[in-house]
Amino acid sequence: MIGAGLAGLSAASQLVADGHRVSIFERGAEPGGRNGTLASSGFTFDTGPTVFTMPHLLDRAFARLGRDRQAELPMTRLDPAYRAVYRDGSQLLVRAHLADQVAEIRNRGLARDAAAYPGFVDWLEKLYESEMPHFIERNFDSVLDLMASPGAAAKLVRLGGFGSLEKAVSSRFADSRLVRLFTFQAMYAGLAPSDALAIYAVITYMDCISGVWFPDGGMHAVPKAFARVLGDAGVDLRYGTPVSEILRDSRGRVAGVSAGGEQVMADAVVVTLDLPTAYTELLPDLRPPRVLDRAAYSPSAVVWHVGVRGKPKAGVAHHNIHFADAWAESFDQLIKRKELMTDPSRLVTVPSLDAPEMAPDGHSVLYVLEPVPHLGADIDWTTERGPARDRLHRFLSANGYPDDIVTERLVTPADWAAQGMAMGTPFSLAHTFGQTGPFRPGNVEPRVPGVFFAGSGTTPGVGVPMVLISGELAASRVRDYLGGRR
Ligand SMILES: Cc1cc2nc3c(=O)[nH]c(=O)nc-3n(C[C@H](O)[C@H](O)[C@H](O)COP(=O)(O)OP(=O)(O)OC[C@H]3O[C@@H](n4cnc5c(N)ncnc54)[C@H](O)[C@@H]3O)c2cc1C
């Protein structure tokens, strides 16, 4: 295994459960990859994902190792999952339970939309049930595999899954604030809601319906606990050990890796570097998959980690989305014109509300994320980072967050690129239809038998739940390849 991010840890959990001897080579000093951590001046920052959904996928991985996830890695469902703040000063909460959400919408004076909400949930559940087993948690060998589940495909058609996401949600809710709240998740797939197919509402199901969770101690507790139980199960985890080469035998099959100056033999290798980077760094003699020639990458993000004196005012939630007024125009700027948004929407996460130990007494941890174009844009981040940081500071002050800074770190697309993320985006290839399912770069490299891929650049895609599944899918490829061999 190359990489101890969540994809690598997930693949390892399945491979060791299948009875294989598994070694993970990680260049960093600890597990997690993008799900990283940073310590400064007594503050602890989670540097990557903050919206954690679908914990049952982790339960499944821990269960394979004979462990109980909640005992090893306790977590709590956040309620509200999000606080949405609009420019007119109004707010809407995403609540954990159906009755509370209906009441929330009704109490904002939106009786008709409140009545429509249960039907919306029902629609999302049906989409999720059709998509997950048939199109997400499965390997594809060809486009024809899409027809392997004609019943599920027909159901998606009946559910309007191939129409516009924005239109599908607008047809259910009259209030545009609700439409924004239940469609902005398309951004997680690198798409504008107006351009996304309704099948991507499955992401809205994952956070708004299935729930957003927060592990005790912060997000980095996830890879830490995962690596710990893998170590207990006999997985050999080697940190500070970058892989410099994938070794091949005389017939071109994989033979092992060169890692930290040592050659380690292996029957199969799962590569979890960002997929385009895996080709340039570890398979330089191979032409990368054709889809990468003209690939559409997701927008990137600037993330500002701030340790501040003071606590947020009452009502501030763990996750706060500040929606812009400009909507279609902002997505056009970000995705089509590849410009900084003049009126950006931003996410402010305050993990110290639920993990006070992440900040010294009387202090808070803030994580401010603004979507920005990837490195295909004409933006020089060496000159732009100062102004970007100042804009975020003004935004925090204007929105009443504590802004007396003790320590800070700004991460820009240039920093993501330096960490090996193609086009400077941590969100990989966008989930356009032509880059999803069988059209996404596959997880098998047929030219080097025994090399498989996991992570957000391959199937099924981007985000914590998807990369956990990608690890399982890669492990199932290894199972097919090695047959009964251990
Ligand atoms: C700022 C940010 C916010 C995000 N927000 C969310 C969110 O809220 N919800 C969500 O679900 N997802 C979110 N994501 C996405 C999610 O974090 C990623 O999709 C996921 O963590 C990627 O996991 P991975 O294992 O595929 O890749 P990585 O975590 O990148 O793992 C790859 C590993 O390979 C290692 N490596 C690289 N090269 C080598 C080498 N040559 N030798 C050995 N090791 C090597 C790296 O050090 C790394 O540990 C966010 C990501 C970021 C960065």
Domain limits, the chain: 6-36+54-74+219-294+431-482, 97-210, 298-422
Residue 485 is predicted with a pLDDT of 65
Ligand 1 pocket residue status of 24, Cβ below 6 Å = no
CA 450 to chain centre: 27
Residues 172 and 119: beta-carbon distance below 8 Å = yes
Ligand 1 pocket residue status of 467, Cβ below 6 Å = yes
C-alpha to C-alpha distance for 303 and 38, rounded to whole angstroms:
13
Residue 147 is predicted with a pLDDT of 78
Ligand 1 pocket residue status of 242, Cβ below 6 Å = yes
C-alpha to C-alpha distance for 383 and 482, rounded to whole angstroms:
51
Please name the residue whose Cα sits nearest to atom 27 of ligand 1: 5
Of 224, 225, 181, residue with least CA distance to 203: 181
Please determine whether the domains at 6-36+54-74+219-294+431-482 and 298-422 fall in the same fold group of CATH. no
Residues composing the chain: 486
Residues 256 and 266: beta-carbon distance below 8 Å = yes
Residue 409: other Cβ atoms inside 10 A: 16
Ligand 1 pocket residue status of 31, Cβ below 6 Å = no
Greatest Cα-to-Cα distance within the chain, rounded to the nearest angstrom: 71
C-alpha to C-alpha distance for 282 and 165, rounded to whole angstroms:
38
C-alpha to C-alpha distances, 351 to 169, 173, 209, 443, nearest whole angstrom:
30, 31, 21, 34
What ligand 1 atom has the least distance to the C-alpha of 242?
A: 42
Residue 411 is predicted with a pLDDT of 98
What ligand 1 atom has the least distance to the C-alpha of 31?
A: 49
Of 171, 58, 75, 56, residue with least CA distance to 123: 171
3-state helix, strand, coil in the chain (%, to 5): 40, 20, 40
Residue 135 is predicted with a pLDDT of 87
C-alpha to C-alpha distance for 146 and 135, rounded to whole angstroms:
7
Below-50 pLDDT ranges, the chain? none
Ligand 1 pocket residue status of 6, Cβ below 6 Å = yes
What ligand 1 atom has the least distance to the C-alpha of 53?
A: 11
C-alpha to C-alpha distance for 391 and 272, rounded to whole angstroms:
35
Give exposure, 369-378, as e/b (b: 16+ Cβ within 10 Å): bbbbbbbebe
C-alpha to C-alpha distances, 382 to 334, 390, 412, nearest whole angstrom:
19, 14, 9
Ligand 1 pocket residue status of 448, Cβ below 6 Å = no
**Residue 73 identity:** L
Residues 193 and 186: beta-carbon distance below 8 Å = yes
CA 199 to chain centre: 17
DSSP single-letter state for residue 289? P
- In the reported structure, the alpha carbon of residue 369 is separated from the centroid of ligand 1 by a whole-number distance in angstroms of 16
Residue 357 is predicted with a pLDDT of 98
CATH architecture under which domain 298-422 falls: 2-Layer Sandwich (3.30)
The listed CATH number (3.50.50.60, 1.10.230.10, 3.40.605.10, 3.90.1150.10) that belongs to domain 6-36+54-74+219-294+431-482: 3.50.50.60
